[in-house]
Amino acid sequence: MTLQERREELKKRLNRDLLLFDGGMGTQLQNAGLKAGQIPEELNLDAPDLITDVHCRYLRAGADFITTNTFGCNRLKMAEAKYPVAQMIGAAIENAKKAQKVCGREDDSYIVLDIGPIGTMLKPLGTLPFSEAYEIIAEQIEAAKDSVDAVLFETMTDVYEVKAAILAAKEHSDLPIFTTMTFDKSKRTLTGTNVETFVNIVESLGVDMLGVNCSLGPKELAPIIEELLSFSHVPVMAQPNAGLPNFLHGETVYELTPEEFVTDLQPFLNGGLAVCGGCCGTTPDFIAALNGVRPSKANPRTNPYMPKVSSSTQTVRFDGHVIVCGERLNPTGKKKMQAALKENHLDEVVAEGIRQEDAGAEVLDVNVGLPGIDEAQMMQKLIPMLQEVINLPLQIDSSSPEALEAACRIYNGRPLINSVNAKPAMMEAVLPIVKKYGGIVIALTLEEEIPLLAQERVELAERIIDRAGQEGIRKEDIVVDCLTLTASAQQKEVAQTLKAVRMMRERGHHTALGVSNVSFGLPYRALLNRTFLSMAIDAGLDLPIMNPLDAQMMGCVDAANLLLDHDHDSIHFIEKYANASDVLTNTVSASGAGTPAQNGATADGSGGNGSGSSDFDLSYMIQKGMKNEVQEQTRKELSGSSAMTLINEVIIPALNRVGKDYEAGKIFLPQLIQAAETTKLAFAVVQETFQASEEKKGPILICTVEGDIHDIGKNIVKVVLESYGYDMIDLGKDVKAEEVVAAYHQYKPKMIGLSALMTTTVVNMQKTIDALHAAGITCPVWVGGAVLTQQIADEIGADYYSSDAMDSVRLLEEVVKA
């Protein structure tokens, strides 16, 4: 049998026969004398007989799969190993093959390439780029792809790393892919992924088997195994530990005997598992015990399919309830969003996303299509920034297949993809992307133009669904957009849209609509929008793409979900509206919902809301950090004086007083920042009255250097400088030297600020300064951070050092003015 045939046969056996994996390798090696600090993967070459013997014992115990001794065999973890990664993997496979031969089990057992976690966290929470994680794993796959039967990604706690691993395996081999993660008692991984989300993501990426390993013993894992079995549509495997570890007489001892282990797993051997094995603390005795009781056939479950989209921590089901997709991350017709994208002020885009999440959106549309912007590049930059702080699944929105692919690749989760239409070229370009990244796609019912009649739109939808089927995309994974037309221009066709939604629903399809398109060019748009929304929901609309900050429309969705029995026992509705008056305000506050401390606190801790804005002047409000009232007061004071007078005679002196109090120890960092943030809000009003570019100081470039992810200090300096009117270009954290050089050429700043928190990253600060000098850039550089001193600043070639935010203000006032 060729390797290819073996792999196909293996896939067929999964879910047909109940198969056994091996147990712990590390435990066996420690028992054989592996010393602390020794690298287990080196033993593949240094003690091949030992490794072969462990495999043999598992094969004799009845294991159908043996995993190679390559758990940590990647270039990061093996940096100090004496052999190259590929050599150790090759030797590990040879040892496994030898064991098969010795035991006479070449034909009825399988060798699985074992790949554990890379060992560091991926961006944006860590520093490892997704592309590098992919390369690290691709290297491991390349070393084994022609000599193993399958690959197992195990013990990973970050589903983003799992995605990189699956893509690497798919793009570098045709190996069957098994994926298990570890979960704790909360039924989440350490990075917050729940079981349903894990299943949704990896299943959509096309794994052949998924499951759980390590973590806990079989008894504690039972609820997790149960959930895996109830959500999965592919074979499920489990490799628990030998119970929970105890620390006895200086050694870690696992609590279960092989018999207890098997007893706890027994219900699942007959109840849906396709493969079972063991992890930490399990030995050949455990596998022999499993072998003694295993049924010959698996008893797989058949779960109904429901389309779902996921971020790494949340899953939204298309189960019939109305799902609000926030539409506001889109520059079309939004000047502020356009400026934020063009000027690289992406934190403002992120803030808009947070506002929509706080307002109750379940999915956020992300569109960055703007002349002069490289959409693919911008998507790859913005999506991780959004996903770092927003838990919602994203809807990737672009008319460019290149941008869609770039975004789907970097996206952490299972995306909604907006969109494909019935043009053959478009289907050809977009549908393979949907298939490859496991997305759910919105199908626009148009070809060259939007058909007027509902029936024609339904026919186009079916054409797309058929074509998607040829790519292997399930029809449930297509959400049909029947296209909202504008009532002012095509009044008669509004009803056709609703009719098409109804027809699609009757055919069992899910639907989307861009709701607010209906009211363009008419007065009182809010009324038209929410009326249309109600009618569309009644027709069967699943996914309104709308403004979640419109409280009236959100109310409409909440009421519909209650009335259609999706908000069971009205829990969500009562929670949200128990104290609502009959008349809702039209929009929620731009600052969104937050904790009382977030919204109400003022610099002096007085609460700030009590007396109304008219009792205090602008200067007082800045000093006391009264964010909620400051904009109204600024408008009032602007009516009596010019913008420049207000800045120079009120705002800056007020800020200076705050700075003095801070330095004198009368107020502390939170109050300083509150005053700075309040000033920013005042500035936003002042700037409405004049050309910002004429009066803004700067630009100033600022970032935290490569290798450092601590950016609170840098952010504080940024906001305080912004309050003094500086145009701050923030490159973020973990920024490479060459990115700083490139940003200099793009923005031509007046000064460059570099931040580093730890001594270990100060070296990268020097590297950045050296790179700037090597590029002939003479722009002054100032540095700061917890461990920095004037002396270190001098040593690394910085032009200036500042000890804190106010010191930076003083410095820039001197240097930039000069």
What string of DSSP letters covers 104-131?
T-TTT-EEEEEE---SSPBTTTSSB-HH
The dihedral region occupied by 508, where left means phi > 0, alpha psi between -120 and 50, and beta the remainder, is left
Is the peptide bond prior to 699 cis by the omega test (within 30 degrees of 0)? yes
CB 130 to other proteins: min, Å: 15
Which range, of 293-301, 332-340, 494-502, 662-670, touches other proteins by CB under 8 A?
A: 662-670
Q: How far apart are CA 577 and CA 371, in angstroms?
A: 42
Q: How far does CA 404 lie from the centroid of its chain?
A: 16
Please select the residue that binds other proteins; options are 139, 260, 604, 813, rule is CB under 8 A: 604
Give the CA distances from residue 766 to residues 275, 714, 782, 797, in Å, rounded to whole numbers and listed in that order: 53, 17, 12, 7
Q: How far apart are CA 74 and CA 51, in angstroms?
A: 19
Query: Three-state SS for 344?
Result: coil
Considering only residues 674 to 713 of the shown chain, the ones binding other proteins according to CB under 8 A are: 674, 677, 707-710, 712
Which residue's CB is nearer to other proteins, number 398 or number 802?
802
Q: How far apart are CA 308 and CA 233, in angstroms?
A: 13
CB 711 to other proteins: min, Å: 8
In this structure, what token pair is assigned to residue 430? 């977009």
Task: Tell me if 206 contacts other proteins by CB under 8 A.
Answer: no
Q: DSSP code of 147?
A: T
Considering only residues 109 to 138 of the shown chain, the ones binding other proteins according to CB under 8 A are: 117, 119-121, 125-127
Which range, of 14-22, 181-189, 417-425, 633-641, touches other proteins by CB under 8 A?
A: 181-189
Considering only residues 738 to 757 of the shown chain, the ones binding other proteins according to CB under 8 A are: 757
Which range, of 292-300, 399-407, 466-474, 665-673, touches other proteins by CB under 8 A?
A: 665-673
What string of DSSP letters covers 299-311?
----PPP--EEE-
Q: Are 198 and 210 in contact (CB under 8 A)?
A: yes
Considering only residues 389 to 448 of the shown chain, the ones binding other proteins according to CB under 8 A are: 389-391
In this structure, what token pair is assigned to residue 61? 């115990």
Which residues, listed in sequence order, are joined to residue 297 by a DSSP beta bridge? 17
Query: CB-based burial of residue 815 (10 Å sphere; 0-12 exposed, 13-18 middle, 19+ buried)?
Result: middle
Task: Tell me if 807 contacts other proteins by CB under 8 A.
Answer: no
Task: Tell me if 595 contacts other proteins by CB under 8 A.
Answer: yes
Considering only residues 210 to 249 of the shown chain, the ones binding other proteins according to CB under 8 A are: 214, 247
Residue (of 360, 377, 376, 363) closest to 329 by Cα position: 363
CB 392 to other proteins: min, Å: 12
Task: Tell me if 663 contacts other proteins by CB under 8 A.
Answer: no
Which residue's CB is nearer to other proteins, number 121 or number 309?
121
Which residue's CB is nearer to other proteins, number 203 or number 352?
352
Task: Tell me if 787 contacts other proteins by CB under 8 A.
Answer: yes
Task: Tell me if 637 contacts other proteins by CB under 8 A.
Answer: no
CB 758 to other proteins: min, Å: 6
Task: Tell me if 758 contacts other proteins by CB under 8 A.
Answer: yes
Q: Which x/- pattern, by CB under 8 A, does the window 135-174 give for other proteins?
A: --------------------x-x-----------------
Q: Which x/- pattern, by CB under 8 A, does the window 250-279 give for other proteins?
A: x-x---------------------------
Task: Tell me if 610 contacts other proteins by CB under 8 A.
Answer: no
Helix (H) or strand (E) holding 363: strand 363-366
Which range, of 1-9, 298-306, 349-357, 361-369, touches other proteins by CB under 8 A?
A: 349-357
Residue (of 738, 746, 734, 728) closest to 680 by Cα position: 728
Kindly state the number of chain residues that form the binding site for other proteins, as judged by CB under 8 A.
73
Considering only residues 19 to 78 of the shown chain, the ones binding other proteins according to CB under 8 A are: 35-37
Which residue's CB is nearer to other proteins, number 84 or number 594?
594
Contacts of 812 (CB under 8 A, 6+ apart): 697, 700, 721, 724, 726, 751, 782
Task: Tell me if 351 contacts other proteins by CB under 8 A.
Answer: yes
Which range, of 103-111, 226-234, 288-296, 601-609, touches other proteins by CB under 8 A?
A: 601-609
Which residue's CB is nearer to other proteins, number 137 or number 444?
137
Task: Tell me if 556 contacts other proteins by CB under 8 A.
Answer: no
CB 139 to other proteins: min, Å: 18
Task: Tell me if 597 contacts other proteins by CB under 8 A.
Answer: yes
Contacts of 241 (CB under 8 A, 6+ apart): 214, 215, 216, 217, 254, 278, 279, 280, 281, 282
Residue (of 763, 751, 738, 743) closest to 815 by Cα position: 751
Which residue's CB is nearer to other proteins, number 134 or number 532?
134
Which residue's CB is nearer to other proteins, number 494 or number 806?
806
Which range, of 105-113, 374-382, 539-547, 600-608, touches other proteins by CB under 8 A?
A: 600-608
Task: Tell me if 665 contacts other proteins by CB under 8 A.
Answer: yes
Considering only residues 365 to 394 of the shown chain, the ones binding other proteins according to CB under 8 A are: 388-391
Please select the residue that binds other proteins; options are 4, 470, 691, 791, rule is CB under 8 A: 791
Contacts of 207 (CB under 8 A, 6+ apart): 166, 177, 178, 179, 234
Which residue's CB is nearer to other proteins, number 586 or number 759?
759
Q: How far does CA 134 lie from the centroid of its chain?
A: 16
CB 527 to other proteins: min, Å: 31
Task: Tell me if 339 contacts other proteins by CB under 8 A.
Answer: no
Q: How far apart are CA 581 and CA 579, in angstroms?
A: 7
CB 411 to other proteins: min, Å: 16
Helix (H) or strand (E) holding 599: helix 596-600
Task: Tell me if 719 contacts other proteins by CB under 8 A.
Answer: yes
Q: How far apart are CA 723 and CA 712, in angstroms?
A: 17
Q: Are 156 and 183 in contact (CB under 8 A)?
A: no
Which residue's CB is nearer to other proteins, number 160 or number 747?
160
Task: Tell me if 191 contacts other proteins by CB under 8 A.
Answer: yes
Give the CA distances from residue 651 to residues 245, 616, 700, 717, in Å, rounded to whole numbers and listed in that order: 61, 14, 21, 18
